[in-house]
Structure 1
C-alpha cells in the first residue's frame, strides 16, 4: 500500500474542495504507545466570517485564533463542558476556515481506542466528533499542531470512495441551508442518518 502524507498545499485551497477530497483519506496519530489511524468518512465545512455557524463569524478570539492562521494545522476546541472537536484549518492565512471531523472508521490501534472510549466494541466508536476525540485521546493539547509533521497527519492511501454525498450540517441553528456536510454514504460509521 502506497501512502502519501498530505502536503500543506492540499489544505491551502477552497474549503469545500478540501472537504470533498478528504473523505476516504486516513488520519494518523503517533502516540507514545503506538500509531492510531482511521479512515475519514464524514466532515463539515465552516467558512469564514460570513458563515453564521462558523466560530470566525464572531471575529478573532483566543479560542478561534488557529482558524485565522495558516492552512494545515489543527484546531481543537472544547464544547458543552464535555466534548473535544478536531478541525483541520484550510485556506490562506487570515481567511478563517476549517473542516470539522465528524466520523471515521478505525484502522490501526482499535484496541487502544476502545480502551480510551470505554467501549466493548468498535460499532459507532468514531461516529461523532466527540466520540472520535475521546477514542483518539485528543484534547486542546493537540490544538495548533502542524498536519504536515510526524505527530498527527492525514495520508492518501489511494482508497477510492465512489459515493460521497452532501447534506446540511448537523446540530447548528444558523446556516442550516448550506450543504456543507460531506460523507461516504457507503460507510456505516457516518454519525447521523443519511
Structure 2
C-alpha cells in the first residue's frame, strides 16, 4: 500500500521513525528505508526553512507528502519528504536504504542514495502520494531503530532526530519475507 498524505501530515519525528522499514520505490529501484533525519520548522537552526520561505524552500511550506530535493556541496542531491501541515516547514531526509531490487546494495548517505538512484532536481515537488515513479509503500516491515544526533550539519546538534536501524544484517534475515510482500 502506498503511503497517503495523512501519514506524512503527522509530526515529523513520528514520520521519520515510521519510515524505517518502509519500501522506497523509484522507477525500477526498490529499497527498505534504513535511516532518516527530521528537520522541523523555523526554530530548528539546521532546517533549510529556519530563515523563512525562499525559492528553494517554498515546497517545505506546502502540503505534506511532496518531495523536497536539493543540491549540496556542488556535488550531491538529497531527497526529503515534506511533513506536517500547510505553512509549517518540516521534512524527513531519507539518509539510507537497503536495496532489494536490483538486489542487495546497502546505501548510507543521502547524497550516495540519490546518486545511485538517479534522483536530481527534476524530482523536486513530486506528490509521492500519487506518483507512480516515486512513492513509499508500507510492506508491514517493522525494524528496531536507535536515535542519534543528526550528522553532516553544524547547527542543531543537540537534537536526537536521526533514526537508523540497529542491525543492518536483520534485512538479510527478513529479505525473503520482504520480497514476497513487495511482490518481487
Same-fold call, TM > 0.5? yes
Equivalent position of 2:62 in the other structure: 69
SS in 2 for 1:145: coil
SS in 1 for 2:114: helix
Distance 1:130 1:173 in 2: 17
Note if 1:87 corresponds to 2:68.
no
Equivalent position of 1:177 in the other structure: 158
> What's the CA shift string for 1:10-34, capped at 9, x where partnerless?
000110111111100010012xxxx
Equivalent position of 1:154 in the other structure: 136
Equivalent position of 2:167 in the other structure: 186
Displaced runs of 4 or more, over 2 A: none
Equivalent position of 2:20 in the other structure: 23
**TM-score normalised by structure 2 residue count:** 0.88
Equivalent position of 1:14 in the other structure: 11
Distance 2:119 2:53 in 1: 23
Unmatched 5+ stretches in structure 2: 171-184
How many matched pairs? 169
* CA RMSD between the two structures: 1.4
Unmatched 5+ stretches in structure 1: 111-120, 190-194
